[in-house]
Structure 1
Amino acid sequence: MPDAPVILADEPGSFPHGVLSARHPALIRAVRDAFPYGPDRRHALEALLTSATEGVIEPLGTEDDVRWAQWGAREYLGRSWFEVPFLWSESYFYRHLLQAVGYFGPGPWQGIDPFRPFKLAELDSVETDEELAALDRLAGEPADARARALLHGSLWGNRADLGFRLSAPDASTAASGLVADDSDVLWSLLPCDTVCLVADNAGRELIPDLLLLDHLLTRRRVRRALLHVKAYPYYISDATTADVVDAVRRLTAAQGEAAAAGERLWTALAEGRLEVRAHPFSCAPLPYADMPDDLRAQFAEADLTILKGDLNYRRLVGDRLHPPTTPFADTTAYFPGPVAALRTLKSDVIVGLTAATEESLVAAEGRRWRTSGTHALIQVGP
C-alpha cells in the first residue's frame, strides 16, 4: 500500500545493505575476472566499485541520463547509494555496470553481455543435466501430476539465481516450503486463450519456465503464450532474448523428453504461438503500478499474467515494508487482468500471508525466512 515505508539500504546488517555493500562488489570483481577487458574497462569497473561502496550516485554521462532523470535520477544524484530506495539503487547500479563494460558502445564490447559466462555455466552444469533427465520420469505421470510438477519446477527454479548465490551459496540445497499457495486458483483460470509469463532469471530457472509454457501449449491449456524478458542484461541472472534462444538450444541438444520439448518450443516460436517480448520498462527501477500505457495494453492482451521471481514480485506489489498480512489483491488491483506470482523469497517484501503463518515463521526463524530462499509462494489476484 502507498503508505508502507519504502525499503532503503541504510541499515547495517539488513538484507538491502548487504546487497549493496557485499554482493555488488563481489559481482564487479566476478565480471572483471570473467573477461579480458582492457585498461579502460578495468579502470571503469574499479571506479564503479569505489563509487558503489564509498561514493555517491553520479550521472551516466550518456543520452540515457534523460530517461533516468524521468525515473528518479534528478532526485537521487549526489546522494549515497544506501540512502535512496533499494529498488532504484540496485537498478541504477546495474545500468552503471553495463556502462563500465562498454555494453552500450560504441566500441568492441558493445552488446557483449557481461553475465553470459555465468549463465552458460549454469546451462552446461551437471545439475541441469539431472533436471532434464527427470523429464523422462515425469512423462509417465498423469497429466495433472505433470502439470503440478512443472508449475513447482518453475516456482523453485528461482533458487538458481546467480546473484543470490553470491551471498548464499548453499541456499539451493536448503529446506523449503510454501508460505502461500493459490495454485488451485491459478489452475481454475485455465484453459484460456493467451497466457503471459514475465520471466526472471536465465539458465536453470528459464528452462522450467519454458517447459511450463510448452506444457500449456501442447496440452491446449492455452492457444498462445507471451514471454516477456529484459530488453538488455539487467540483474546478473535476468533473462534476455539471447538467453531464451540459448535455453531452447540447450533443450534440443539434450535427450528424450527434453529434446522433444525443445523442438516443440522452437516450432512454437517460429510459428508465433510463443512470442518473446522485451519492453524497455522491463529494466526500469519502478513498480509495475507505474507502467506505461503501451505495456499495460500488452498485459491486457493476456487472460492470465504470471510474474516470476523476486524482483518481479517487488515491482508487482511495491518494494515496501508492507504488513505481511496485507491482501495480495489489494496491492495488485491496478494490474490489467488476473495476475499470478511465482516467487522464491529472497528479499524483505511480502504480502498475502495469514497471521498464523507469519507468526510461525517469525517464531522459527526471525526475519531470515524473508530472504533465505528456503520459502516460496504462489499468489493470484486481484
Structure 2
Amino acid sequence: MAELPAVYYNKDSDSFAFSTARVRWVKIVQDALEDINDAGAKTSGEAQQQAKVIAGKLQQLLVDFEEDAVVQPLVGGLKQYESYNRALSAEDYTWLTGPWLLLENVLYRLINSWFVEQSHWFNYDIFANLKKESFESSVAGVTELAVRYAQLDKERQSSATGIKPELKQLLFKEFAEISLWGNATDLSLLATATLEDIASIQGAEARKKSEDKILTNDIDLAYAQLISSKEKIRKVEIVLDNSGFELYTDLVFGLFLLDFNLADRVTLHTKDIPWMVSDVNLKDFNVVLSQLKDTNVFDKHRDELDFFINKVEYLFNTGKLTLETSPYWTLDKDFWEISPDEQEFGGSELHERLSSSALVIFKGDMNYRKLTGDRRWPSTTPFSRAIGPLATSGLKILSLRTVKADVLLGLKEGVYEDITEEWGKTNDNKLSWLYSGKYAVISYADGAAH
C-alpha cells in the first residue's frame, strides 16, 4: 500500500480539530461539570462525596486543556484501556497538539472511567439531560413524520396491486435521506400526501432540491445491492450516531425496510457507554420511546404517534427489530481493524457478525471519520480507497454522513474548490462549510476485491 496521508492533529490551524480542542471540548466538560454538580447536590452521604470526586477530576481536566498538558494513560482494569494506552504510548501527546481522532475518543473514555469507578455513579449518563432536552425540542418534526409514516402505511396496506418497484426505490432513497439529515427540517418528499404524489413531477422536484447538498450519492448502488441479496434472511445493520430525533428517524427508516420487505431483520448498533455527548447507547432506545409516550410533551396526533410506538415495540418483541452493542465501537481504533485478524478487542467477532448482512449502514460523522481513518485524503479520493482494507472485507458498507469534519471523499474534480470559494464570499473562514452540517455524502462500497 502506498504511503497513507497524515491524520488530522489538534495543532492544525486549518482543521476543525483546532477549535474543537480549544472551544468545543472545553464547553462539553464545563457542561458535564455542571451536570454532576447538580446531580450530586440532590444526593447525600457517600453518593455526594463520589460526585465531588468526579467533579474534581472534570475541573482538573479543564486545567489540563488550558495548560496543554500531556495526555496520561487510562487507569483501570477494563480491557479496552489496553488499546488506548498502547496508542498513547507512541508519543507524549498533549491535548492541544495530538491526533484529533485519537484524543477525542480518549476524552470520552476518560470521562466515563471516572464514573465507572464510583459505586453510586457507574451507570450514570452525564449527557442524558442534553439528549432528552434536544429530542423534546423536535416535537413538530417528530409529529409530522409520524403522521406521514401512518399515511404511507395505510396506503401500502390498501394498495390492491402492490407497490411498484420504482416507487419502492424512491421511498428507500427518501427514508435514507431523512435518516441522513436526522433533523426536523428535511422532510421534503414525505411532506407530499400520497404515494402518487411521491412518484409525480412535484415529488421529483422535491427530491432534486434535497439532493443538491449531497455532494456524492451512491444510494442507487446500495439499493441494488440490497434487493439482489440472496440471503435466506435478509439482514440490515444500522450503526447509529445520535440519539433524539436522529434515532427516531433511524427507527422510521428501519420500519420502512421491514414494512416493504426490503429486510427481514434490522439491527440497530449502539455504543456501550455515554459517548460523543449525543451518541445512542442502549438505554436511549427506551428513553426515546418513553418520551414519545409523554402526552404533556407530544400532545398532538396521538393516534399516529401511538401507532408508531406500538409498531416499534411489536417488531422489537418479535425479533425483527433488534439492538446490539459492541465494545469495539468505543475503542480508540478506526474501523479498518473490523477484520478476522483483530483478535484482541472484538474486531473479528464484529466482522463475523456484519459479514452475513445484506447492508451495513454507518450513520454520522464520527463513524465516517473512523471508516476513513480521519486522514488528509484529497477530496477526489474514491471512498473505497479511503476505507483501506474494509474495501475488500466482504462488508457491504453504506455511509450516511452529514459533513461536520474535514475528511471528505468521492467528490468530482473542482467541487471542493468551488464550494470553498463560494462559501468564502460570506464567511470569514472559507473552510467552515466543512463543519456547518449543511452538506452531506452518501457513500457505498461493496466490500469485494476488484
Same fold flag (TM > 0.5): yes
CA radius of gyration, larger in: 2
Moved more, 347-356 or 305-314: 347-356
1:376 maps to what in 2? 440
Preserved CA contact (<8 Å) 2:15 2:406: no
Unaligned runs of 5+ in 1: 161-174
Out of 296, 321, 337, which is 2:395 matched to?
A: 337
Ranked by relative contact order (alpha carbons within 8 Å, sequence separation 6 or more), the top structure is 1
* 1:284 matches 2:336: no
Letter in 2 for 1:73: L
Preserved CA contact (<8 Å) 1:322 1:350: yes
The Cα of 1:69 is off from its aligned counterpart by 4.6
Moved more, 337-346 or 264-273: 264-273
The Cα of 1:358 is off from its aligned counterpart by 2.2
Out of 128, 150, 171, which is 2:175 matched to?
A: 150
User: Using a 3 Å threshold, how does the CA distance of structure 1 residues 373 and 257 change in structure 2: closer, same or farther?
Assistant: same
* 1:53 matches 2:66: yes
**In structure 1, C-alpha distance between the alignment counterparts of 2:3 and 2:324, rounded to whole Å:** 29
The Cα of 1:268 is off from its aligned counterpart by 1.6
2:26 maps to what in 1? 25
Preserved CA contact (<8 Å) 1:229 1:239: yes
Please list, as runs of the form range in 1=range in 2, the aligned pairs for 1:175-194 lying within 5 A after superposition: 177-191=213-227, 192=229, 193-194=234-235
2:6 maps to what in 1? 5
User: Using a 3 Å threshold, how does the CA distance of structure 1 residues 250 and 334 change in structure 2: closer, same or farther?
Assistant: farther
Letter in 1 for 2:322: E
Preserved CA contact (<8 Å) 2:75 2:81: no
Letter in 1 for 2:358: D
Query: 1:331-366 CA deviation, whole Å, 9 max, x = no partner?
Result: 231443211110000000111111132232122123
Preserved CA contact (<8 Å) 1:6 1:85: yes
Letter in 1 for 2:180: L
> Residue 180 of structure 1 aligns to a residue in which SS?
strand
**Identical-residue share of aligned pairs (%):** 24
User: Using a 3 Å threshold, how does the CA distance of structure 1 residues 90 and 176 change in structure 2: closer, same or farther?
Assistant: farther
2:110 maps to what in 1? 96
Preserved CA contact (<8 Å) 1:299 1:336: no
2:258 maps to what in 1? 217
User: Using a 3 Å threshold, how does the CA distance of structure 1 residues 66 and 97 change in structure 2: closer, same or farther?
Assistant: closer
Preserved CA contact (<8 Å) 1:150 1:212: yes
Out of 304, 313, 319, which is 1:257 matched to?
A: 304
2:195 maps to what in 1? none
Query: 1:179-215 CA deviation, whole Å, 9 max, x = no partner?
Result: 1111222222233511111001111111101110011
Out of 304, 323, 327, which is 2:359 matched to?
A: 304
**In structure 1, C-alpha distance between the alignment counterparts of 2:150 and 2:174, rounded to whole Å:** 11
The Cα of 1:26 is off from its aligned counterpart by 0.5
**In structure 1, C-alpha distance between the alignment counterparts of 2:267 and 2:145, rounded to whole Å:** 26
> Residue 414 of structure 2 aligns to a residue in which SS?
helix
The Cα of 1:240 is off from its aligned counterpart by 0.4
1:42 maps to what in 2? 55
Moved more, 2-11 or 14-23: 2-11
Letter in 1 for 2:251: L
* 1:314 matches 2:369: yes
**In structure 2, C-alpha distance between the alignment counterparts of 1:155 and 1:69, rounded to whole Å:** 30
Out of 243, 249, 253, which is 1:208 matched to?
A: 249
User: Using a 3 Å threshold, how does the CA distance of structure 1 residues 178 and 121 change in structure 2: closer, same or farther?
Assistant: same
User: Using a 3 Å threshold, how does the CA distance of structure 1 residues 287 and 220 change in structure 2: closer, same or farther?
Assistant: same
2:193 maps to what in 1? none
Preserved CA contact (<8 Å) 2:141 2:183: no
Please list, as runs of the form range in 1=range in 2, the aligned pairs for 1:115-134 lying within 5 A after superposition: 115-125=127-137, 127-134=138-145
The Cα of 1:177 is off from its aligned counterpart by 1.2
RMSD (Å) for aligned C-alpha atoms: 2.4
**In structure 1, C-alpha distance between the alignment counterparts of 2:174 and 2:293, rounded to whole Å:** 21
* 1:86 matches 2:111: no
* 1:107 matches 2:105: no
**In structure 2, C-alpha distance between the alignment counterparts of 1:264 and 1:138, rounded to whole Å:** 11
What TM-score, normalized to structure 2? 0.75
Letter in 1 for 2:174: A
User: Using a 3 Å threshold, how does the CA distance of structure 1 residues 139 and 184 change in structure 2: closer, same or farther?
Assistant: farther
The Cα of 1:261 is off from its aligned counterpart by 2.2
The Cα of 1:178 is off from its aligned counterpart by 1.1
> Residue 182 of structure 2 aligns to a residue in which SS?
helix
